[in-house]
Amino acid sequence: MLTLLTMNPRLRGDDLSKAPAMPALQHIFTTSADGLRLHASTIGPQDAAALPVLALPGLTRTTEDFDAVAQALATDPRQPRRLVAIDYRGRGQSDFDPDPAHYTVPIEATDVLTLAAAAGVSRAILLGTSRGGLISMGLAATQPDLVAGVILNDVGPVLKMRGLMKIKGYLGVGATPRTWREAEDGMRRLFANVFPALTDAEWSAWAHRAFREDSDGQLIRTHDVALARAFDAITPDTPPPALWELFDSMAKLPLLSIRGALSDLLSAACVSEMQRRRPDMETWDVPLQGHAPLLADEPTIARIKAFCKRCDGAGGF
């Protein structure tokens, strides 16, 4: 079953007076093979000549992480482009899975395929943040007809243990904030050292992406805390395996690696090795941002736009 709803853009407070005109945001709901309600958001012309972008968020993240880049792509006056952002199971507006063992990259990749089909996307550029980048690499290897190019946002075949342990340390742990101010302060405590230049408004926006209000006005996380189970097997003595074989399988695809200059998950050395293996891979470091870059600054969006145009001209149609 497919449901398509047209909504106003996600705007809050004073943003309404500052935002440029943009197309309506649509919400797609469909059902997974195992009966879960899945959600995606889409913006931009469905009949655009340019390839669409499938945006795949990080481990605990949602479609809202891509609002800025989605707006920029959809409203490009020269080449408007459609973006479809995915909520895997257990995130955002998709159902939580009653079995946390299903929160795996392969199963979440099937969620992506289900939602891509519901959105009418048969070939696309994949924009994968962190976990979404791992899913992107898997899809590039197993669904080559779908993938016209890959943007890896602060993720690669080898991940720094320091960053993994940081994620494991805060994932699903800690009291839920009682107020939006507490939520913002909590985000600062976790990430201010790798995002030193964010404004108060940007911290507030981040908090509003990480939490939402329930029917009683209480703040709740926008992800299932049971996602912490995904890190059960990861310890300093048992790191995840390197994925160079998977990376090498993308040899014929256009690639762009985006890295936060302050990232504690993706090392500059890993990016250097990626580029050694793929000299044609584009790279971009986002200054004063860590894991994972927010994809909201103009220089980064400009690089994403240019890369997407390269994919359009690389036999994507």
* CB-count burial class (<10 Å; 0-12, 13-18, 19+) for 94: buried
According to the model, what pLDDT value does residue 23 have?
75
First to last CA, the chain: 28
Residue with tokens 């797609």: 28
In a domain, 89, yes or no: yes
Own/partner long-range contacts of 111-115 (Cβ < 8 Å, ≥24 apart) = 111/32, 111/38, 111/86, 112/54, 112/56, 112/86, 112/88, 112/139, 113/139, 113/143, 113/146, 114/30, 114/32, 114/33, 114/38, 115/28, 115/30, 115/38, 115/39, 115/40, 115/84, 115/86
pLDDT tens digits, one per residue of 259-316: 999 999 999 999 999 999 999 999 999 999 999 999 999 999 999 999 999 999 886 4
In a domain, 223, yes or no: no
Sign (positive or negative) of CA dihedral 246, 249, 253, 255 = positive
Q: How many separate domains does the chain show?
A: 1
| 86 in Cβ contact with 111 (< 8 Å) | yes
In a domain, 103, yes or no: yes
- What is the full per-residue pLDDT of the chain (317 aa) written as tens digits? 444 344 344 544 344 344 445 578 999 999 999 999 999 999 999 999 999 999 999 999 999 999 999 999 999 999 999 999 999 999 999 999 999 999 999 999 999 999 999 999 999 999 999 999 999 999 999 999 999 999 999 999 999 999 999 999 888 666 789 999 999 999 999 999 999 999 999 999 999 999 999 999 999 999 999 999 888 889 999 999 999 999 999 999 999 999 999 999 999 999 999 999 999 999 999 999 999 999 999 999 999 999 999 999 886 44
Give the rounded percent of residues in the chain with a pLDDT score beyond 90.
86
In a domain, 9, yes or no: yes
Residue with tokens 């993706």: 266
| 154 in Cβ contact with 257 (< 8 Å) | no
Q: What is the dihedral of CA 286, 16, 132, 199, to 10 degrees?
A: 40
| 15 in Cβ contact with 208 (< 8 Å) | no
In a domain, 213, yes or no: no
Which among 304, 243, 250 is positioned nearest to 278, based on CA atoms?
A: 250
* CB-count burial class (<10 Å; 0-12, 13-18, 19+) for 64: buried
How many C-alpha atoms does 305 have within 13 Å on its Cβ side?
21
In a domain, 194, yes or no: no
Question: What CATH number does the domain containing 122 carry?
Answer: 3.40.50.1820
Q: Give pTM, 2 decimals.
A: 0.92
- Amino acid identity at 148: A
Domain that holds residue 101: 3-163+242-312
According to the model, what pLDDT value does residue 172 have?
62
In a domain, 112, yes or no: yes
In a domain, 220, yes or no: no
